[in-house]
Structure 1
Amino acid sequence: MTRVVEIHIAPGSRLPTRSVPAVEAEAGRGLVGDRYHGTKHRHVTIQARDELDLAAADLGADIPSGATRRNITLAHGPVPTRPGERLRIGPVLLEVVRVAAPCRLLDDWIGTGAASALRRRAGTAFRILESGTIAVGDEVVPVEDDE
């Protein structure tokens, strides 16, 4: 079992993310206040802190969770990657859409080589199936197909 350790949202593209203690997740819409709210499928992105730490070791520099522009950071992975896999964070049900590729701008924001260090560690994009509040400290539970 893992837990949410950080939540970040950004009001627009290329605008800095800000850390929040909790966020409202709307089914079929996204995270309230985030740049992807209202998009069709990319409602929330999730990464794991232990994967960021491995990438930081490869890079030789810190990788702050918010600098990756992902929304939810878990204490540890693995984060599901297969389309259709589901997670429950608190009351919110999420479904994998696809693996999230590292943004090429990460080299500018974090340091040269950041995008490469984050390859296969950049998290997963999910759609929100059931609404609710996601908060730091929430338990993250994989959901079996028969649930």
Structure 2
Amino acid sequence: MAKVLAVNISETKGVPKVSIEKGYFEVDHGLVGDAHAGNWHRQVSLLGQESIDKMTAVGVDGLCTGKFAENLTTEGVLLFELPIGTRMKVGEVTMEVTQIGKECHAGCAIRDLVGDCVMPREGIFTKIIIPGYIKPGDEIEIITNK
């Protein structure tokens, strides 16, 4: 079963995020209160525990949820294999995959902290289709897979 391990938020960009009990995700915005939220195609970032485990396996210590500045840390689905346009139901929220990976910006605190960043290769980005709350333990259901 695919599920949410953590909901993570930060007030500034380019820094690790802190876990919260639950988050509200708005249409045309993303996670309320997060620095990356806004009316664009990268409203919410997701990274799988499977990707974080790859970094741990090569000797990076001290990794935890939110360390790669992801809004949702997940488990049980290889996010980076989902095609763009895939819709997922996560908790009360329906979201659509808009981008796989990204360019890591200069001066990235995550890369400086851990020596590498898996987010540019295996993180995904989504936009919110149906708003609502997401909390750790919520199931992730793939609705459509284009």
TM over 0.5: yes
Aligned residues: 142
Stretches of structure 2 that go unaligned for 5 or more consecutive residues are none
Distance in 1, matches of 2:9 and 2:96, equals 19
Residue in 2 aligned with 1:91?
Answer: 92
Tell me the amino acid that sits aligned with residue 22 of structure 1: K
Q: Which residue of 2 aligns with 1:51?
A: 51
- 1:101, distance to aligned residue in structure 2 (A): 2.7
- Matched residues in 2 for 1:54 and 1:119: separation? 14
Q: How far apart are 1:12 and its partner, in Å?
A: 1.8
How many Å apart are 1:35 and its aligned residue? 0.8
Tell me how large the CA RMSD over aligned residues is. Answer: 2.2
CA distance in 2: counterparts of 1:99 and 1:145, whole angstroms: 14
Q: TM-score, normalised by structure 2?
A: 0.85
Q: Which residue of 1 aligns with 2:4?
A: 4
Structure 1 residues without counterparts, runs of 5 or longer? none
- Between the aligned partners of 2:16 and 2:60, the Cα distance in structure 1 is 23
TM-score, normalization: structure 1? 0.85
Structure 1 consecutive aligned stretches of length 4 or more whose deviation exceeds 4 Å: none
Q: For residue 92 of structure 1, what is the amino acid of its counterpart? A: V
> Equivalent residue for 1:109?
113
Give deviations 1:27-69, integer Å, cap 9, x for gaps.
Answer: 1111101012223221101111122102221244342221100
State the AA in 2 paired with 1:132.
G
8 Å CA contact 1:5, 1:74 repeated in 2: yes
How far 1:131 moved relative to its partner? 0.3
Percent of counterpart pairs with the same letter? 25
1:138 aligns with 2:142: no
Amino acid at match of 2:55: A
Distance 1:29 1:109 in 2: 28
Q: Secondary structure at the match of 1:66?
A: coil
